[in-house]
């Protein structure tokens, strides 16, 4: 039987909760990807760091990565802005300097504050330094009809201590203040994953991640198969209440399931059966049904 990864030409890998938590590598993850022949694309909703920084961090943790294999929501957000704005337009940045650098790279002018002329757009990405004044400045611009692009809407961000507020929590505050809805670049929306597919040069790809609401739903949005690894945010219990859009193709306890043949789906699966099948088939991914109603 084929190993799970051998069914695909590329693996689109989430980072936080899938490969590492904060600065701590997930046990066995680097070994699981060592020697993999498939194209590895590291696809992150986190817009706070540059591709160079992300690639260096991955290499430090033992993963085979280069700048060209890292695809960030900051890059996707900048592309969305460039497609909608004239060259040289001003963009109010709520986020890190690395997010601002992506705005500059596509020919737009990042600003942090404005007095008079309203920025053409607001772009919002995660930064632990975001404060009330930053959100207020963005709210002023949005109330004056600036375009709004959010890098992602992840409610939480996993780290070595647990779950911290993610960019989605800050987006929620700005949504309340502005009574507006952003265009979202990151998963579960299509732009980020479509950028990764273009970079990979194939649509024969498996999305691998730890979150039903971003990684898995995003895979379903762009018509790709997916693997949920139980090393981060989402749990088997969450599958019971998940919508059809958030049901993965496969579930596994760890990333090493990529290197083993998957376990075929069985009629009448429910969450309890799925947990038992994972126990009975340690190290392998278990195929689940296509809709939530079929695994309850």
> Catalytic site residues?
14, 16
Q: How far apart are alpha carbons 216 and 261 in whole angstroms?
A: 20
The answer to whether 263 and 290 are in contact (CB under 8 A) is: no
Tokens representing 10 are 């590329």
> Per the structure block, which two tokens stand in for 14?
């989430």
* Residue 233 buriedness (CB in 10 A; 0-12 / 13-18 / 19+): buried
- Backbone torsions φ then ψ of 273, nearest 5 degrees: -65, -40
| CB burial of residue 14 (10 Å; 0-12, 13-18, 19+) | buried
Which residues, in sequence order, are CB contacts of 32 under 8 Å at separation 6+? 254, 255, 256, 258, 259
What distances in angstroms separate CA 115 from CA 8, 119, 145, 276, one per listed residue?
Answer: 51, 10, 15, 61
Answer for the pair 5, 33: CB distance below 8 angstroms, yes or no. Answer: no
The number of residues making up the chain comes to 296
């Amino acid at each position: 039987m084929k190993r799970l990864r051998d069914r695909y030409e590329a693996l689109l890998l989430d980072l936080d909760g899938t490969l590492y938590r904060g600065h701590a590598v997930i046990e066995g993850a680097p070994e699981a990807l060592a020697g993999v022949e498939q194209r590895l694309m590291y696809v992150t909703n986190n817009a706070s760091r540059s591709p160079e920084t992300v690639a260096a961090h991955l290499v430090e943790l033992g993963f085979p990565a280069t700048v060209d294999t890292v695809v960030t929501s900051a890059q996707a957000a900048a592309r969305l802005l460039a497609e909608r704005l004239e060259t040289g337009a001003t963009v109010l940045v709520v986020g890190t300097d690395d997010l601002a650098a992506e705005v500059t790279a596509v020919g737009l002018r990042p600003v942090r504050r404005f007095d008079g002329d309203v920025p053409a757009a607001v772009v919002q990405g995660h930064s632990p330094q975001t404060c009330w004044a930053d959100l207020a400045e963005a709210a002023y611009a949005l109330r004056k009809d600036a375009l709004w692009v959010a890098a992602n809407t992840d409610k939480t961000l996993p780290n070595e201590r647990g779950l911290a507020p993610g960019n989605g929590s800050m987006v929620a505050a700005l949504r309340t203040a502005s009574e507006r809805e952003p265009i979202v670049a990151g998963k579960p929306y299509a732009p980020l994953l479509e950028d990764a597919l273009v970079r990979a040069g194939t649509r024969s790809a498996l999305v691998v991640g730890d979150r039903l609401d971003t990684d898995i739903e995003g895979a379903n949005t762009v018509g790709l198969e997916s693997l949920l690894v139980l090393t981060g945010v989402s749990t088997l219990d969450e599958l019971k209440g998940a919508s059809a859009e958030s049901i993965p193709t496969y579930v596994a306890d760890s990333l090493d399931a990529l290197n083993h043949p998957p376990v075929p789906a069985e009629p009448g699966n429910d969450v309890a059966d799925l947990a038992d099948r994972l126990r009975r088939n340690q190290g392998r991914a278990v195929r689940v049904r296509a809709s939530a109603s079929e695994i309850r």
